[in-house]
Amino acid sequence: MTAKETILAGTNGEPHAAPSSPGKRAALDFGKAWSYAPAPEAADHVRIEPRYELFIGGKWTAPSSGKYFDTVSPSTEQKLAEVAEANERDVDLAVKAARVGYEKYWSKLSGIERGKYIYRIARVIQEKARELAIVETMDGGKPIKESRDVDLPLVAAHFFYYAGWADKLAYAFPGRSPRPLGVAGQVIPWNFPLLMAAWKLAPALAAGNTCVLKPAETTPLTALLLAKIIEECDLPPGVVNVVTGAGATGAAVVAHPDVDKVAFTGSTDVGKRIQKALSGTRKKLTLELGGKAANIVFADAPLDQAVEGIISGIFFNQGHVCCAGSRLLVEEGAYEPLMQKLRDRMQTLRVGDPLDKNTDVGAINSKMQLDKIRELVLAGEREGATRFSTPCELPERGYWFAPTLFTGVSQSHRIAREEIFGPVLAVMTFRTPEEAIEKANNTMYGLSAGVWTDKGSKSFWVSQRLRAGVVWANTYNKFDPSSPFGGYKESGFGREGGRQGLLPYLEVD
């Protein structure tokens, strides 16, 4: 532990009052007040198959290479299942099946008939919501209350929403003639596996396209359970295909010559490679990439409300959120009271078993991601920032990182410039709205931002000057299927959600 690191912990990780210098308030001593009895979500009714194949042409197909890989629970490091590893031949079969499904079935259905299928998917997702939430938590590490109360309702809502658009495409773009593109290749990340699948599949299907979906190799299970739901809903063969594997599988989907549209959510580096690979081709492309969002708090903001927004903005899903508010910009007049409130609130966060309904911060998704977080935190300490990590006892097995913030951060620090994708907050100050805007926009990213003030005119004035695709005012991380989401600069291009989310999957004359 370095001299710059402030970690308050007593016996067994219990919070205690830090020694206080004259004129400074000691940290709150919560003692046993925040101790909760375990409240684990029962998982004995959830059946995870020992092995999962590829879903191609409406059938479960063994990989042509015969290779499988393990998917592991990040909270226990225990193997959950073996998953098929698709190679180029398997991807080719999936794309061919999608082309047949498009030409023979999906493109011949009326919009209202397509909508019925999508609506049916949404209803079955609702029926199986508890099972899906548990598997999402086991495979990805996020707290069950987030999977249950945020992810699954949004997944169903997206399918319901786009089911309604399926027979109204002419009204979505008045005076123009929208037509489906054909086959969409979709590559999704590991932080919101099922929700990202819904964001990709629902608008593509509503627009009349067929899909080849490639989930992340660390979180493939809920995409495969979604394939089972699609099978149960009797969608025509080839309309949705799911191929699992690592980066090579995704690259094969992107590069396949018979794919008409590519949609990718993931890192900026991979997004750049995809854009380069597709340049000069006829394929349409949307990219939703990284972010380094600024959460701006003015002195006139309701500070208690802002603290809750800051906590939600950076510690939701362990900070594994592309739009996480990982940079906190605080007006100097509010800095001291806000930081005291924020540190006190952080000490109430419960870190541990993601299947426990009391858990606030779950497991880091993988060892590779944990190593990246540790590397950037160490860089922050070496560059002179002051670290505060919450006092908590981390489980012995699994991948864990305590909620952390840094003060004394400058714009040049790596933790202020690079996407950490973990529960780490970089705090900076400003004096004027103009300085806040300049600091907020001083990043290669432009995905999201937050503004906290009790002046409506100020929030509008600041929001209009932020180069971010989504700006929340006096809230954070609020999503709705009718609201478009996407970024600027190196955060990608194109929009997902809302009427605008249909456009990437249509040819509009």
CA torsion, ordered 440, 442, 447, 452, to nearest 10 deg: 0
Q: How many CA atoms lie within 13 A of 399 on its CB side?
A: 24
Distance CA 109, CA 449 (A): 41
How far, in Å, CA of 415 to CA of 406, rounded? 9
- Which sequence positions are flagged as catalytic? 288
Element (H, E) at 205: helix 193-206
For residue 94, the tally of other CB atoms under 10 A from its CB is 31
- Give the C-alpha separation, 254 to 257, whole Å: 9
Determine the Cα angle at 476 with ends 192 and 306, to 5°.
140
Strand partners, 445: none
Q: Are 198 and 154 in contact (CB under 8 A)?
A: yes
| Cα–Cα distances in angstroms (integers) from residue 281 to residues 255, 261, 275, 311, in the given order | 10, 11, 10, 43
Compute, in degrees rounded to 10, the torsion defined by CA atoms 481, 482, 484, 485: -20
In the sheet that 5-7 helps form, which strands lie side by side, from edge to edge?
5-7, 386-389, 404-407, 424-430, 327-331, 294-297, 448-452, 470-473
